[in-house]
A = this chain, B = another copy of it.
């Protein structure tokens, strides 16, 4: 008999969770350590307690529910994702994976199944990078370093003040490492956040690997001058360098790095008035590739392009890498378990890489890891309009359940 989760119970949970940080446009504003984020995490622990599960919060603020094995020294199979969102995000990204993990633990418990490993549903801290990006999962693997914390994605000042505000310490983050020998593996269900599954009409995506990414601060520096009295030819306008670079990033990646992506996601101009020629432009840029060597080459090409644009417009430019996440292939045995579970449910599958970073990227460094994708309507994500058909959510949860039980039994 194929085990199944309780779709009504999961639906009730989904609706409750979506109200926390819910915005008028149907989206979610639940950035790391916001009030809504704390509310969602407290709710998650409460749902676990109500189901009789053990709860645990580690020194990186990762929140866990545990269904122990009969043998208390047994290893742990982790299932989960994250409850934080981008600033104007959707209701499925991360949250669905945490809800499905919770539901799998309850379904196993309800079925009275005795497994040789413990199951743990985990909500990782700061996956989206309000502060660092995949903060909790890297902390858990022990690969978070003082170097990363010295130049975090959201800026050093924000990290320092936020940790102090919520009562965490950098020592605590670095001490959250768990011994890999205590782990039996990691399984993450997530929405695809792209259009591939929907276009192919496929139920379940089996992720082959997670694309690596690098993020940079790029600052062009010119002279802030009066916009009325400074002739066009006498200007050193930082916005021109920024503009040339935005177009240059696109040209470089589409021409020389097919299959990769690169994005200038933010531009901040100083002083930023109608009547002052921009003196400084600060850009946030990132690039992604499945291959570490290609990612190196892409980084170099974009840095070169930034310098060329600065030279064209007589500007100074400074690039600072603020993060790099290595490409991470998933585990073959885990992929097979997903395939088997989907097949038993009569669902169609396809293999595909993940263009987005995920906590599985960190976990794959230390324990056999895999990811289950469910379709994203229109490929929309990081947007209030993010949507996955409820049937696809239930299918994904059932595949997660089947694969988890399979891996637990063989673990």
A274 touches B267 (CB 8 A): no
B86 touches A275 (CB 8 A): yes
- Which chain A residues in 240-281 approach chain B with CB under 8 Å? 240, 242-247, 250, 253-254, 261-269, 271-279, 281
Does A224 reach chain B (CB closer than 8 Å)?
yes
List of B residues within 8 angstroms of A150 by Cβ: none
B266 touches A273 (CB 8 A): yes
| Closest beta carbon of chain B to A83's beta carbon, Å | 17
A193 touches B379 (CB 8 A): no
Which stretch from A4-12, A136-144, A228-236 is at the chain B interface? A228-236
List of B residues within 8 angstroms of A245 by Cβ: 243
Contact A261 to B194, CB < 8 A, known contacts A86-B271, A242-B267, A266-B273: no
Does A359 reach chain B (CB closer than 8 Å)?
no
Contact A271 to B87, CB < 8 A, known contacts A232-B250, A243-B243: yes
Does A371 reach chain B (CB closer than 8 Å)?
no
Which stretch from A57-65, A174-182, A283-291, A403-411 is at the chain B interface? A283-291
B267 touches A286 (CB 8 A): no
List of B residues within 8 angstroms of A279 by Cβ: 383
List of B residues within 8 angstroms of A156 by Cβ: none
Q: Which of B268, B275, B382 contacts A226, CB < 8 Å?
A: B382
Contact A272 to B276, CB < 8 A, known contacts A226-B381, A229-B356: no
Q: In the assembly, what is the distance between CA of A213 and CA of B245, in Å?
A: 29
B267 touches A269 (CB 8 A): yes
A275 touches B286 (CB 8 A): yes
Binding site for B on A (CB under 8 A): 86-88, 128-129, 153, 192-195, 211, 213, 215, 223-234, 237, 239-240, 242-247, 250, 253-254, 261-269, 271-279, 281, 284-286, 288, 354-357, 379-383
5 smallest CB-CB distances across A and B, nearest first, come from A194-B229, A243-B246, A243-B243, A228-B356, A229-B355
